[in-house]
Amino acid sequence: MKLFEFAFCGNYENKIAQLANICPEKWSFGASNDNLILKNYIEHTFMKVEEEDKILMENGYALFNTGLFTSFYEPIYAYFRPNNNPDRQTWFLVDFYASYQLAQMGISSFPPRANYFSNPAEMVFDTNCDIIPQYDHIFGDRENYLRIPEIVRESPNKIMLFDGAVRRAKLMIDANYKTAVPQYYKRKIQLLIPICLVSEKTPDLALVVSKNPAGNQYLGHTCLTLDMAYNNARLIARPDSSWLRA
């Protein structure tokens, strides 16, 4: 179920803007102020907690743990009341509140946050494994292909350039394991690694990798734009990486 199927979210933009104020972080790409990252985060987090049956529903209210915190490390929850309009969704999104505010309202039970992994080892790149890119998709799928810089797409040596970028990414991960950033996709943890094609110091894309069934290689499935990669990674945690930023 999606958030907007569960609840009517009147003045949603304003509520998201208020949430951005109590959870200070860069929630928009570039110079924009649309809080697109935060909206994506909230809507996908809702689907995950709904899937895990972690939405607390009582007679007079409902709550879910956003997984976000105030600057004082107080957990933040989405707070709903029953919708008075019978022709709309069952619930109405009132606002986002910290635990102290909810306690002032007499609420003493709080739902847990979403859980994206059970094995912490999945979150760290295994440097003993090679990376095997799926070139028939990376260069054969039009949508994926157009994410590659034009100067590389038109090069007769594009496979060689990409291979070199993958080798460099592996060296970057060897030097700092935080270079590989986890993302959650289709109930699995994958890793995002930087692909520098035009300049060796500036990533152009993120390559999505996950281990093969034997667990001895990483398969490079597809490439994402850096904005797409950040959106996906932020669902688990704010990326602690020198290359993946909003």
In sequence order, what are the residues at sequence separation of 6 or more whose Cβ sits closer than 8 angstroms to the Cβ of residue 89?
4, 5, 6, 7, 8, 83
Whole-model pTM: value is 0.93
Q: Give the residue-averaged pLDDT of 175-181.
A: 96
- Give yes or no for residue 86 having a pLDDT over 90: no
pLDDT tens digits, one per residue of 133-153: 999 999 999 999 999 999 999
Contact 56, 111 (CB under 8 A): yes
What pLDDT was estimated at residue 173? 96
Tell me which residue of 19, 4, 199, 200 sits closest to 95, measured CA to CA: 19
Encoded tokens for 90: 């069952």
Q: Beta 188-195 vs 205-211: how paired, if at all?
A: antiparallel
- Give yes or no for residue 48 having a pLDDT over 90: yes
Tell me which residue of 246, 239, 235 sits closest to 40, measured CA to CA: 235
